[in-house]
């Protein structure tokens, strides 16, 4: 069975950007469910000989539901479907209430969780990641979906938890 990796995080942290960076142009699987929008949500990736399946939970939306309900729904999908969960946060905006809600849900699963702080675009911003230790998910990994930096380290962490 090919391991499933799920990306979770509040809107605008960069899930789709990271997803596209990790899987490139690989064909995604689009599935339709009533009341649920699924766009480019599933794809396959490969790192150091390890195949994996990636889910961008941000592309799975309930129709007409408030933000917090969407976020909880997406985190539940990750908890149910993934072997490894990558929580993304936004280092430029810092820690938010939504991040805390997601982290508190993820803390209840025994599945491996990797915390990545996106939008760490330059070395000076690497100091901003330390606040994210407060989420209780362990070491925050700085990444930049815009520049593609930190993603090799992130993938190393992901495949090490398979």
Find the binder of Mg ion among 8, 16, 41, 105 (CB under 5 A): 16
Residue 14 contacts ligand GDP per CB under 6 A: yes
Give the SS3 label for residue 158: helix
Q: Quick one: which segment of 24-32, 37-45, 117-125, 134-142 binds ligand GDP (CB under 6 A)?
A: 117-125
Our CB check for ligand GDP shows the closer of 22 and 84 to be: 22
Residue 3 contacts ligand GDP per CB under 6 A: no
Beta-carbon contacts of residue 123 (< 8 Å; ≥ 6 apart):
none
Convert 47-98 into a string of H (helix), E (strand) and C (coil): ECCEEEEEEEHHHEEECCCCHHHHHHHHHHHHHHHCCEEEEEEECCCCCCHH
Residue 74 contacts Mg ion per CB under 5 A: no
Give the SS3 label for residue 152: helix
Residue 21 contacts ligand GDP per CB under 6 A: no
Q: 81 is written with which tokens? A: 């479907």
Residue 96 contacts ligand GDP per CB under 6 A: no
Q: How far apart are CA 94 and CA 157, in angstroms?
A: 22
- List residues binding ligand GDP (CB under 6 A): 9, 11-17, 58, 118-119, 121, 144-146
Binding-site residues for GTP sit at 9-16, 56-60, 118-121
**Binding site membership: which residues?**
9-16, 56-60, 118-121
């Amino acid at each position: 069975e090919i391991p499933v990796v799920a990306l979770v995080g509040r809107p605008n942290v960069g899930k789709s950007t990271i997803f596209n960076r990790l899987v490139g142009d690989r064909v995604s699987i689009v599935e339709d469910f009533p009341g649920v929008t699924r766009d480019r949500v599933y794809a396959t990736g490969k790192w150091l000989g390890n195949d994996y399946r990636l889910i961008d939970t941000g592309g799975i939306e309930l129709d007409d539901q408030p933000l917090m309900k969407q976020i909880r729904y997406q985190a539940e999908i990750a908890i149910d479907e993934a072997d490894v969960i990558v929580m993304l946060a936004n280092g430029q905006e810092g820690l938010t209430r939504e991040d805390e809600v997601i982290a508190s849900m993820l803390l209840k699963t025994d599945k491996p969780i990797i915390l990545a702080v996106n939008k760490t675009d330059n070395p000076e911003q690497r100091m901003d990641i330390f606040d994210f230790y407060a989420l209780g998910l362990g070491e925050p990994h700085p990444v930049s979906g815009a520049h593609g930096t930190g993603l090799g380290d992130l993938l190393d962490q992901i495949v090490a938890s398979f």
